[in-house]
Amino acid sequence: MKKIFALILAVALSATVLAGCQSGGDAASGENADNSESKVIKVGASPAPHAEILEVASDILKEQGYELDVVEFSDYVQPNLALSEGELDANYFQHQTYLDNFNEEYGTELVSIGAIHYEPLGIYAGRTTSLDSLPDNATIAVPNDTTNEARALLLLQDQGLIEVDESAGLNATVKDITSNPKNIQITEIEAAQLSRILPDVDLAVINGNYAIDGGLKMSDALAVEESGSVATTAYPNVIAVRKGDENRPELQALVEALKSDTVKQYINETYEGSVVPID
């Protein structure tokens, strides 16, 4: 009887040990899966220049064991909604002022973890080929989102075409125009469409990324935001993440890669002033 009991006990102990080994194996397997998943960084971006810049950064991240998954967006709303809803780890397409306004309007909690570059706005020729030949009652298209519209109006003011209420500052809209001697018709257009409507307007003030998308170069612009202007210092393009994710190692690695000398060199050589890296 004792032998039978000992045999049963031995079998039970063996089963327990085997179960423990199996359980440990599953846990290890699950842990590896989690680690593998955390190595993939899913980033929403505008096609140009952001997705192109991320492609360069991806090679740097690969050396650190990270895989970059870039999802391209053609507008300024969906990439923030996707990030807020957890469909992305980060996005790279917007400046800080736009991000702040978006959070206020949509009730999101997105934050910047690094400023990467800025894109000067430019005035591009449509039906009119120079600022000096701009006729009375000309039509000028500007971005229809609040922050970029203000930048556009301030750039037009810098060229002596209009005057804007000083108190409006970086929140200026067409309602804040105080002087318009040529009776210019300011048309507010979705930023992504501006380069496409150039044949239908006299001039258009276009964001750097959408100018690139439209095949335009900074050298094509009739006027550009100056590098030391309030607008260029207030509107650096940032990496945005959900509040609480700021210290995730993979996201910090993303910012470091985008601020690397390799990426800065690529930006300077590729975009020739249309995109300017930030130290």
For the chain, give the DSSP string.
-HHHHHHHHHHHHHHHHHHHHHHHHHHHHHHHHHHHHHTEEEEEE-IIIIIHHHHHHHHHHHTTT-EEEEEE-SSSSHHHHHHHTTS-SEEEEEEHHHHHHHHHHH---EEEEEEEEE---EEEESS---STTPPTT-EEEEESSHHHHHHHHHHHHHTTS-EE-GGGGGG--GGGEEE-TT--EEEEE-GGGGGGGGGGSSEEEE-HHHHHHTT--GGG-SEE--TTSHHHHH--EEEEEETT-TT-HHHHHHHHHHTSHHHHHHHHHHHTTSSEE--
pLDDT surpassing 80 at residue 57: yes
Percent of the chain with pLDDT over 90: 75
Say which residue, 192 or 34, is predicted with more confidence. Answer: 192
The mean pLDDT of 98-103, rounded to a whole number, is: 94
The mean pLDDT of 202-207, rounded to a whole number, is: 97
Q: Which of 102-111, 183-192, 209-218, 239-248 has the lowest mean pLDDT?
A: 209-218
The mean pLDDT of 268-275, rounded to a whole number, is: 92
Instruction: Identify the band that residue 233 occupies on the pLDDT scale cut at 50, 70 and 90.
Output: confident
Q: Which of 8-22, 123-137, 228-242 has the lowest mean pLDDT?
A: 8-22
Look at the block and give the residue holding tokens 């556009």: 152
Within 13 Å, how many C-alpha atoms sit on residue 193's CB side? 12
Instruction: Identify the band that residue 279 occupies on the pLDDT scale cut at 50, 70 and 90.
Output: confident
- What per-residue confidence (pLDDT) applies to 226? 84
Structure confidence by residue, pLDDT tens digits, 117-155: 999 999 999 999 999 999 999 999 999 998 899 999 999
pLDDT surpassing 50 at residue 114: yes
Percent of the chain with pLDDT over 70: 86
Give the chain's mean pLDDT.
88
- What per-residue confidence (pLDDT) applies to 7? 40
- What per-residue confidence (pLDDT) applies to 25? 38
| Best CA proximity match to 170, nearest among 188, 152, 183 | 152
Sequence letter at residue 103:
N
- What per-residue confidence (pLDDT) applies to 112? 98
Instruction: Identify the band that residue 232 occupies on the pLDDT scale cut at 50, 70 and 90.
Output: low
- What per-residue confidence (pLDDT) applies to 231? 66
Handedness of CA 205, 55, 259, 246 (dihedral sign): positive
Q: In the numeric block, which tokens belong to residue 190?
A: 């979705």
